[in-house]
Structure 1
Amino acid sequence: MKLFILYLYIMIGSGILFVNLYNSLVDAPNWGRNIPDSLETAKNYFQQKTPANFFKITGPLHHLIGLAVIIFLWNPYPQIRGYIISAFILFVLADVFTVIYFFPRNNILFGQKPVDPKIALQTWKEWSHMNWIRSLILLSGVVIACISLYKIYR
């Protein structure tokens, strides 16, 4: 039963990673297609819900599960301590990066009216490039969490 929580941690972390990749592969190219019109289209589309609605729920839940993984697996599996702490730090780092880097850019892209096309284009490019870095951080967290699972079964 204790390992179930690690499986859950890996699954939710993978889900967050894949939603982030979806944003890079599908959403962001559409946002930048014809700025400022494409941003207005995205704003209209996101009137009811945005990707932030997903991340605001899954992010904190994932961190709580990560703490539970550390607590519940600390004594029974000392060989994975460094891995689960590293994975947890990477997932928290991705969220800190989101708050510090992406929130201000989201505000420029989707919060201001009217949008200055030059500023919006530069902001969209920055957002698009750095989201791949965020995805890499998330992927690293998932891989390290998977290594900890491997170490348990090995």
Structure 2
Amino acid sequence: MSRARLTWIVLVVLVWTSMLSFGGVAAETVMLYPNIFGDAPESLSRAREFMVAGGPSDYFPPLGAAVVVGSLAATVLTWRNQRLRWWIVGAAATFVACEFLFSALFFWPRNEIMFVDPVGTHSPEYLRQVAAEFVAGHWVRLAGGAVTSALAFTALLRWARDTAPRTADGAEAPR
């Protein structure tokens, strides 16, 4: 397989996985979060009961790993192309900062409090505070996913434009 073909595939995978991640976070925002955080602590108890077979913690870590691996591969494959390099690096840095580091430092401790610690460990007031913090911080993750997807998609479009066959007059050749 040629390097150009491999780069194309990796960029498509990066865009696809970053958009799936962003779409998943956006869907959580409008479908799950009102139900999970709407009237803590009662809604947190219902969420514990509902998410027995699976939940966001089953979906996002493998998808996030795919975005990170795709970002690393795309960075390696496009490093020599200055027109693409910083779009990919920007996408990777935004994803790692907003989706991984921010989640690990901000969301994971709050998930422990709301969903792992035994029921009754924390006061209702404290659970409401933690739920409100979680929802407020969630907008950072949502914005990070949007920026990551936009940067990755821009890199893919630039790659497609740069590698499109050209006619003698410089116009893109029909495929």
For Structure 1 versus Structure 2, the TM-score category normalised by the shorter chain is: over 0.9
Instruction: Give the structure-2-normalised TM-score.
Output: 0.82
2:48 is aligned, of 22, 40, 43, to: 43
Distance 1:134 1:36 in 2: 23
Distance 2:9 2:82 in 1: 17
User: Quick check: which has more Rg, 1 or 2?
Assistant: 2
Distance 1:64 1:146 in 2: 16
2:85 corresponds to which letter in structure 1? R
Structure 1: stretches of 5+ with no match in the other structure: none
1:28 is aligned, of 27, 33, 44, to: 33
Instruction: State, as a whole percentage, how many aligned pairs show the same letter.
Output: 21
Shift, 1:33, TM fit = 2.6
Deviates more, 1:56-65 or 1:95-104: 56-65
Shift, 1:8, TM fit = 1.0
2:95 is aligned, of 91, 95, 106, to: 91
Aligned positions of 1:4-153 closer than 5 A: 4-75=9-80, 77-94=81-98, 95-112=100-117, 113-114=119-120, 115-152=122-159, 153=161
What per-residue deviation string (whole Å, max 9, x for no partner) do you get for residues 6-28 of structure 1? 01101110110111112221211
Distance 2:41 2:154 in 1: 44
Distance 2:82 2:40 in 1: 52
SS in 2 for 1:48: coil
Shift, 1:109, TM fit = 1.2
1:128 corresponds to which letter in structure 2? V
What per-residue deviation string (whole Å, max 9, x for no partner) do you get for residues 57-85 of structure 1? 1111211111111112223x331111111
Q: Relative contact order (C-alpha < 8 Å, sep 6+): which is higher? A: 1
1:121 corresponds to which letter in structure 2? R
Instruction: Give the structure-1-normalised TM-score.
Output: 0.92
| More helix per residue | 1
Structure 2: stretches of 5+ with no match in the other structure: 163-175
Distance 2:123 2:53 in 1: 24
